[in-house]
Amino acid sequence: MQMAKVIGTVVATKKNERLSGVRLMVIQPIDSKGTKLGSPIVAGDAIGSGIGETVIYAKSKEGAFCLPDPQACCDAGITAIIDSIYSI
């Protein structure tokens, strides 16, 4: 799992039926200090994150495991919303 900042949403007039009820969010991967890592990606979100929130996401097939249908064709999925980060 990795951290990211939610920076936008994706509007899809049609999508795979297995993604029914799943919002598509644009997320920017970040490190623990909030520095951007690479390019933004689209991730499925079934937990209700919003723009500006910091989230944890999983990539590859594991990204779909947190969605209502774990067989959905999704390369990344948001698994948690981060309330705070503590590091030494």
Beta-carbon count within 10 A of 6 CB:
22
- pLDDT for position 87: 73
CA distance 60 to 75: 5
Task: Report pLDDT for 7.
Answer: 97
CATH for the 2-81 domain, from 1.10.579.10, 2.40.50.220, 2.30.30.240, 3.40.50.970: 2.40.50.220
The residues spanned by each domain of the chain are 2-81
- Closest by CA position to 27, among listed 16, 19, 18, 1: 1
Structure token pair of residue 43: 């991730």
pLDDT tens by residue, the chain, 88 residues: 899 999 999 998 888 888 888 899 999 999 988 899 999 999 999 899 999 999 999 988 777 777 777 777 788 999 999 998 887 7
pTM for the model: 0.87
Beta strands in the chain (DSSP E): 2-10, 23-30, 41-45, 54-59, 76-81
